[in-house]
Amino acid sequence: MNKRILVKFSGEALAGAEGYGIDTKILDYIAEEIKTLVEYGVEVAIVIGGGNIIRGVTAAADGVIKRTSADYMGMLGTVINGVAMQEALEHKGLSARLQTAIKMEEIAEPFIVRKAMRHFEKGRVVIFGAGTGNPYFTTDTGATLRATEIGASMLIKATKVNGVYDKDPMKFSDAQKLDILSYDRALEDQIKVMDDTAIALAKDNKLPIAVTNMNEQGNLLRIVKGDYSNCSIVK
């Protein structure tokens, strides 16, 4: 069994049909899925992207906003999502803490790894916001970094598809699911599990990555229990 895991959600996952903002029904569903993990005895960390609020790369595309500023705006977006996630978890009766890579003490704790570990010991879910605190790094890299720092046994990337395919399954009907793939294969352009920095960091630290469909109920718990039939594993 995976005793401590980090689950990475995209910001867009929270947006629902609107494509932006936060759909509280989806938030509630995710909180319920996380609750099943906690009740099973797993220590859970969460990282959420900020794409439903703002994307740094997109905001900087036409040059009006500098890339560094746009990335900081994106980090603030992840904190908005983190506050929402904390509320949703507490609504389910769970204890949760939000830690951010940029200090904003009225809203969240600053990221301190020892403090995060104490939260896990007390059965709390820890949400990590503001990415790595540095521009030019994605939230996938932030998630991989935090998973490594807390000694997670696995990083679960919760997406819209039930694994990794040799090409985009949304575009190609003959796309083949890859049950297990190496870190090097995951770096190939047409596969793109995560960005290169995140994969390289996971490879260096031998951190397995499971890619699964978050919209299928019970998927996260199945992975935690060691059932990898409905996901892809990068290791």
Q: What is the domain extent for residue 31?
A: 4-234
CATH number at residue 85: 3.40.1160.10
Residues whose CB falls within 8 Å of the CB of residue 41, separated by 6 or more in sequence, listed in order:
1, 3
| pLDDT for residue 1 is more than 80 | no
For position 130, what pLDDT does the model report? Answer: 98
pLDDT band at 35 (very low <50, low <70, confident <90, very high): very high
The helices-and-strands tally (H runs, E runs) of the chain is: 9, 11
| pLDDT tens profile 77-122 | 999 999 999 999 999 999 999 999 999 999 999 999 999 999 999 9
- How far, in Å, CA of 127 to CA of 232, rounded? 24
The total number of structural domains that make up the chain: 1
pLDDT band at 18 (very low <50, low <70, confident <90, very high): confident
